[in-house]
Amino acid sequence: MPKTMLELKIVSSSYGAIEALKGVSLRIEQGEIVTLIGANGAGKSTTLRSITGLVPPVSGDILFEGQRLNALPTHKIVALGISMAPEGRAIFANLTVAENLELGAYLQPDAAQNERQMDRVITLFPRLAERWRQQGGTLSGGEQQMLAIGRALMSRPRLLLLDEPSLGLAPLLVHTIFAAIDAINKEGTTILLVEQNANAALKHSHRAYVLETGSIVMEGPSQQLANDPRVREAYLGEK
């Protein structure tokens, strides 16, 4: 049986008086790609930020391989094996591609392993090798997204969180990013994907959860949700 890697149990999170998550429960098995779909403001990014300790939950439990994450600082959560490529990429614009990637490995003391991981990132995204000494801020949007995912991979996560990886990208680059997501997963990394492009998200994931105003309203195998008339109308633009 697959092993549960991450579990959220009735998690509520707030920004001041605004309750962004209202009793969210979900699980991710080892080796899966699970996607969270929903409209803007549904709580998708807050879910990722709660997992990584950036917005600690007000109530409920977040468990990673059985360990409770609720009170842990973000760097300790990264050290456990969770890494995130945030929405908007958040690369270091004034640092080179190489320096951005090196910073992703700041918790990893093994230089030889870091070298191998760097090679893995370059194999996934050959464009980064061409931009090696360029500052992050001079890259195109697609290249910055590749760099953000590459930087997240440098900590050798067992669970990779991706927040809107295709946002603002041209269709050809969206295809490139999703091909890389498939490849990362096939190499053994479990992925939680937050994505407004519901079509692509459901096509490239095993299971899906639908979030509406901070609550999960549907869940199931991705193919099943992609065929559900309610999902097709609300998120896939079909009448």
For residues 19 and 214, the answer to whether their CB atoms sit within 8 Å is yes
Return all residues near 185 (Cβ < 8 A) that are at least 6 apart: 31, 33, 191
138 DSSP assignment: G
For the stretch 121-133, pLDDT in tens is: 999 999 999 999 9
For the stretch 162-214, pLDDT in tens is: 999 999 888 888 999 999 999 999 999 999 999 989 999 999 999 999 999 99
Could you tell me how many residues make up the chain? 239
According to DSSP, the β-strands at 159-163 and 59-64 are unpaired
pLDDT reading at 10 higher than 70: yes
Question: Is the full-model pTM beyond 0.85?
Answer: yes
Domains of the chain, CATH where assigned: 1-81+157-239 (3.40.50.300), 92-156 (no CATH)
Three-state DSSP state, 21: strand
Query: Mean pLDDT for the chain?
Result: 92
Q: What's the pLDDT score for residue 222?
A: 97
- The residue among 153, 167, 218, 194 whose CA lies nearest residue 50 is 194
